[in-house]
Amino acid sequence: MKWRLGRQKGQPAPRMRDMSAGGADYTGRVGVVDIGSNSVRLVVYDSEQRVPAIIFNEKVLCGLGRSIATTGCLDEEAMIMAHATLRRFETLAQEMGVDRLDMVATAAVREAENGQAFVARIRGVSKRPIRVLTGEEEARYAADGVLSAIPEASGLVGDLGGGSLELIQVDSGTSGDSVTLPLGPLRLEDLTGDNRDEAAKVIDKALEQVPWLSECEGRVLYLVGGAWRALANIHMAQTRHPLRILHRYAMRRQQMNDLTRMISTMGRESLSRIPNVPRKRLNALPLAALVLNRVLHIAKPEWLVASGYGLREGILYSHMDEQTRQTDPLIAVCRTMAAKMGRFPEHGDELMAWISPLFSGHPYEKLRLAACLLSDIGWRTHASYRAEQAVLEILRGSYMGTDHPGRAMLALAIWVRYGGLIEDGKGFQVFDTLIDDEQRQIAEITGLALRLGNRLSGGVPALLSGTRLELNADVLVLRLSPHRSPLQGEAVEKRLQALGQALSCNAQIVIDEVD
């Protein structure tokens, strides 16, 4: 059927409401251009906050380092492609109003005979300064990127790029010994071709020069770099992991031993038949798998954890003041979400203090605070979908400061807070497979307590003052000062009884003075 315009000839045009944004405010945007051995990437962030949001992310596989092992130089065609890419990125950054753009080059440019000449060509199209990172700087930024997202990281960070492998020891928020090794897949392919046995010898010889690598035994290896993340993604698909978010995805060493051994022997055609293998990684993946397999053989970590944060985030982290760096990333992003999506953002801290008597001596304090901060994010959603929508926001959002079980606990607490029933929550596979019975119980009680607190106060700041929860032996008491007694009602009583039932105790309201 032919499309007809709604307004016929002779009819006046309808008056439109003003839908303009009133002028876009780009103040505070920052970005990083990463000129790597394999790809050139631009990432633009909305601010310099503790957990900035990515507003633009683009990479182009230029392959600058594809022939550096045999020629000692950057590939000429790759330089032309990279030059054009950087012109585009410079224009985009300027039009996006990026205040600060860090442009950094890594192993290929650093080591190539014509690296400085290439940098000079770039400076002809960009007014921004370009830094060629040393191997030590590259390693430190990679470690800082991991630590910015996982402050408690302890073990070994491995960042595999196209031209080099950075290995860095980390322990409780600080980085230690580091090394840069010429073991990137592009370099290995240029050096050894399809001879995997020869590549294994080159890898082992380089790794044997790192005496502290064995200190990682029984600890955690944090995986950074596109090729290693692709391996983690394959493992995730094969195990049918219910949460398809790569950051903080954890794998046992033996499982990855088997996977990397298999992939390291495969050709391009065989790899292309495996689901979830990116076509752009088909050439590099076998050698990336071989490097990881040999690292596992020597380092013997107990766990491998994929990190979605690396060098670029480490550069952002380096610009933050110490107070900002010390802010917990999960709590920072939850406060941001509460400010954007909640009615009364400051109510979260009041709720945390109010429900704390129920959890004396219990773990997961940070997750409880996160749940309190997020307990009002669903108010705009239709009531029929409020619980489900809030859960999906948490399961699929960028909450980088917790692992997958923690994310599932947080989502379950908010599910219950919005009236979702535990038995109905079984439709979310993450609740069944990622958390145990104790974690499930803690999340349920947290959600019920938040449901009570939000109903009692209406979400209004300061109304919880003059009220208190007490857990005495087998009795749950909601104590109200006389001037807060009008807050009691059927809805409050119903939610109090539900919380008491979850705690396996009786529940009652007492009118009395509250300190």
Digit-coded pLDDT (tens) for 104-156: 999 999 999 999 999 999 988 788 899 999 999 999 999 999 999 999 999 99
Structure tokens at 105: 């080059």
Distant-in-sequence, close-in-space partners of 340: CB < 8 Å, separation ≥ 6: none
Residue 17: band (very low, low, confident or very high) from pLDDT cuts 50, 70, 90: very low
Task: Record the tokens describing residue 145, joined without a space.
Answer: 């990127």
Mean pLDDT across 353-364: 93
Q: Strand 475-480's sheet: what is its strand order?
A: 467-472, 475-480, 506-511
pLDDT value at residue 24: 40
Q: Kindly report, residue by residue over 393-419, the tens digit of the pLDDT.
A: 999 988 889 999 999 999 999 999 999
**Domain 30-133 class, CATH top level:** alpha beta
Q: Note the maximum CA span of the chain.
A: 84
**CB within 8 Å of 259: residues ≥ 6 apart:** 231, 234, 235, 238, 289
Q: What is the dihedral of CA 482, 487, 488, 492, to 10 degrees?
A: -140
Q: Which CATH number is 328-511 given?
A: 1.10.3210.10
Say if residue 25's pLDDT is above 50.
no
Q: What is the pTM of this model?
A: 0.90
Quick count: other Cβ atoms within 10 Å of Cβ 110?
20
- What is the torsion angle, in degrees rounded to the nearest 10, for the CA atoms of residue 405, residue 411, residue 417 and residue 423? -80
pLDDT band at 422 (very low <50, low <70, confident <90, very high): low
Q: In this model, does residue 7 exceed pLDDT 50?
A: no
Answer whether residue 13 shows pLDDT above 60. Answer: no
More confident residue, 461 or 30: 30
Domain spans of the chain? 30-133, 136-314, 328-511
Per residue in 142-189, pLDDT (tens digit) is 999 999 999 999 999 999 999 999 999 999 889 999 999 999 999 999
In words, the CATH class of domain 136-314 is alpha beta
Q: How do residues 463-480 score in pLDDT, each as one tens digit?
A: 999 999 999 888 999 999
Q: 361: pLDDT confidence band, cut at 50, 70 and 90?
A: confident
In this predicted structure, the answer to whether residue 12 has a pLDDT above a threshold of 50 is no
What is the pLDDT at residue 400? 86
pLDDT at position 425 is 54
Q: Say whether pLDDT at 9 is over 70.
A: no
Q: What is the pLDDT of residue 268?
A: 85
Same topology, domains 136-314 and 328-511? Answer is no
The pLDDT value given to residue 125: 79
Pick the closest to residue 109 from 139, 130, 86 (CA basis): 130
